[in-house]
Chain A
Amino acid sequence: MHRLRLNRDLVAGLMFVAFGAAGLFIANDYPRGTALRMGPGYMPVLLCWGLVMLGGIIAIKGMVTAGVSLAAWHLRPLVLVLIAVVAFALLIEPGGLAIATVAIVLIGAAGGLEFRLGEALALALGLAAGAVGLFVYGLKLSMPVWPLS
C-alpha cells in the first residue's frame, strides 16, 4: 500500500466532515420536530449529515486516487492582510474612521511583495482624508471619524 499523502481532495473532504460534525455537535440539543412540524433542529441536522457524508466521499476519493498535491500557502500576505482587517474592526469604534483607515492601509500594504514604507504612509494618509471626505461627508454614512466622537 502506498503511503497516505495529504492531497487536495483529502483535505477538502476532511474540512467538510469537520464542518458537518461541528454543526451536529452544536445542533444536538435543538428540537428536531417531525416533517409535519419541523423544529429548529430539523434542517440543520439534515444538512450536517449531508456534509459529513459528502465530505467522507471526497476524502475517500482523495485517498484512493493519486490526487493533486496541496498548493503552498503564502503566509505573509495571508497573515498581514487579515490582521489589517481585524485592526480596522477593532479600531473603527474607539478610534474612528481616520485612524482605522491608516491602520488597515499600512498593515495591509505590508502584506504585499513590493512594500515601500514611504509610499504606503503617503497612501494611508491620502486614503484616510479621502475616506472621511467621501464616506462621511459625501455619502453621509454614519460612522465615527475621530476618537471618542
Chain B
Amino acid sequence: MDLFNNIIFGFGVALSPQNLLFCFFGALIGTLIGVLPGIGPLATLAMLLPATFYLPPIPALIMLAGIYYGAQYGGSTTAILVNVPGESASVVTCLDGHQMARKGRAGAALAIAALGSLFAGTVSTLIIAVASPPLSEFAIKFLAPEYFSLMVLGLVGSMVLARGSLINAVAMVFLGLLLGLVGTDVNSGRERFTFDIPVLSDGIGFVPVAMGLFGVAEILINLERRDQRYVGSVIGSLMPTRDEFRQATPAVLRGTALGSLLGILPGGGALLASFAAYAFEKKIAADPSRFGQGAIEGVAAPEAANNAGAQTSFIPLLTLGIPSNPVMALMIGAMMIQGIAPGPQVMTQQPDLFWGIIASMWIGNLMLVIINLPLVGIWVTLLKVPYRMLFPSILLLCAVGSYSLNSSATEVGIMALFGLLGYLFYKLDCEPAPLILGFILGPLMEENLRRALIVSHGDPLVFVSRPISLTLLIMAVLLLLLVVLPAVRRTRAEAFTEA
C-alpha cells in the first residue's frame, strides 16, 4: 500500500539524528513561546527565518513546523495555571482550565490538554498523509483561472471567519490586497506606491507587517491593562480521575474532528478551531451551566481542536502552495529561502521533504507530551517573570527579526508603522487577519487574473466557464450567503463572544 510505504519512508527521513534534533528544538521553542504570553508563533517564526538560511531545507522546515504546533501545547499551560492565554488559540482554555486549577485539578487539566493534543496530533497527521496525495494530484491541473478562484474562496473564507462586522472584514481584505501590490509591477517594471524608498521596490516585507500588526500592536494593547497574573504553584496530581477521563474522551474526539476540518479551511487554523470547539461543546452539553465552572470538556475539546487545526492547516500549503493563515505564509517564506517553490509539485519532486515533515509532526507531538507534562515545573518558573520585564524583551525580538531578514533599518521603521496601524485597527474593531491574507495573496491574484484574462482574450467569463473554477466560485458565494442568513449570523456572533 502506497500510504504505508510513504509513511515508513517519511519516518526514515524524520528519524535521522539531525532531523530529530531540530524537531526537538522546534517543539521546545514552540512550548517556550506558547507558555510566555505576548509572544506567538508568528513573531518567533519571523525571527528564526533568517537563521534557517544556514540549515538544509528538511531540518529547517521540520523545526519551524514544530514551533507552530508546539505553541499549542505550551499555550494551554499558561491558560490553565495563570488564566492568561499563553498563545491566542488557548483563549478559551482559560475559561474552564483555570477553574479546574482553582479546584486543585490543575494537574488533571494539564494532562487532559496534553493527551488530547497528542491524540488530535496523531489523527491530523494521518489526515494530512491520506488527503494530500489526491489533493495535490488534483491541484496539478490548476491553471490561472482556477488559482484565481481558489484565492477568492480563500479570501471569502477569511472574511467569514473574522470576528466582528463582515463588511469591515471585506474592507480589510481590499486594503490588504492593495498593500500587497506595493512595489515593482512585474509586467511593466513600474514602481507602485513606493515613495522612492529603496526597500519598497521589492514590496513591503511580510515580516515587518506581520510583526507590527501582531507583535507590536499586541504589546500596545496589553500595556493598557495592569499585569494581574497570579501564578498558582500547586499543580496536584497529573492523573485525571476515571470520571474525568470518561467525560473528556468524547470531547477530545469531537474537538479533533472539528479542528481538523476547520484547519483546512482558508483563514482557519488553530485559533478558530479552539473557539468553535468550545462553543460546540457548550451547545451539546446536557448541562451547559457547568461550563466556566471547570468542566473538563471545556479544556479537552478546544485543546484537541487547536492542535488538529494547527496541523491540518499545512494541507493547503503542502498541496496547493497557498497559505491559509499568516503562520503558513511565513512557512512559504521559509520554503522560498530554501529555493523550494511551494505548490502541488513539491510532493513528487521532493518526497523526502514532504513525507519527512509529516512524519516529524507525529514524533514532535510525542516529544511535546514529555516536554509539557513531566517538565511542567520548569515552565511554571518561567511564568513568574512579570510582564513589565517580558514586553521589552519581546519588543527587542521583533525589532531584531525585522532587521535581520534584509539587514534593513527601514523595515524596522515599517514595523513601527504597522504597529500603530494594528493598534488603530484594534480600536476600530477591524480584525487584521483578513488584511494579512489579502496582503499575501495580492500579487499572486493580480498575476493570475492577468494570465487568465490573456489566455481568454480578455473574456471575464473564463472564470465561470471552467468547471473547477466555477465550483470554487460557487463555494465562495455560498459561504458568503451563509453568513448573511440571520440564523448563521447569530451563531457566528455567539461563537466569538463565548470567550
Contacts and interface: CB of A to CB of B under 8 A. Distances in A.
A118 to B, nearest CB: 12
B429 to A, nearest CB: 6
B171 A55 contact: yes
Q: Which 4 interchain pairs have the tightest Cβ spacing?
A: A36-B458, A77-B223, A89-B412, A40-B185
Contacts of A123: 389, 392-393
Contact of B429 (A12, A85, A108): A12
Given A85-B216, A105-B393, A73 B168 contact: no
Interface of B: 48, 50-51, 54, 165, 167-168, 170-171, 174-175, 177-178, 181, 185, 187-188, 190, 192-193, 216, 219-220, 223-224, 226-227, 386-389, 391-393, 395-396, 398-400, 403-404, 407, 409-410, 412-413, 415-416, 419-420, 423-424, 427-430, 446, 449-450, 453-454, 457-458, 460
A92 B216 contact: no
B19 to A, nearest CB: 19
Contact of A44 (B178, B388, B428): B178
Contacts of A109: 388-389, 391-392
Q: Which residue among B174, B391, B407, B429 has the maximum number of chain A CB atoms within 10 Å of its CB?
A: B174
A19 B171 CA distance: 10
Given A34-B458, A81-B219, A116 B167 contact: no
A114 B387 CA distance: 9
B391 A112 contact: yes
Interface residues of A, number: 73
Nearest to B413: A89
Contacts of A119: 388-389
Q: Is the interface of B mostly helix, strand, loop or mixed?
A: helix
Contacts of B220: 77-78, 81
A85 B449 contact: no
Interface of A: 8-9, 11-12, 15-16, 19, 23, 26-27, 30-31, 34-40, 43-44, 47-48, 50-51, 54-55, 57-58, 61, 68, 70-71, 73-74, 77-78, 81-82, 84-86, 88-90, 92-93, 97, 100-101, 104-106, 108-109, 111-116, 119-120, 123-124, 127, 131, 135, 139-143
B402 to A, nearest CB: 9
A120 B392 contact: yes
B178 A15 contact: no
A143 B392 contact: no
Given A35-B458, A85-B419, A89-B416, A77 B224 contact: yes
Contacts of B427: 8, 70-71, 73
Contacts of B415: 85
Contacts of B192: 27, 30, 40, 44
Given A85-B415, A139-B51, A38 B175 contact: no
A15 to B, nearest CB: 7
Contact of A19 (B178, B224, B416): B178
A139 to B, nearest CB: 4
B391 A54 contact: no
Contacts of B174: 16, 47, 50-51, 54
A14 B227 CA distance: 34
A91 B50 CA distance: 21
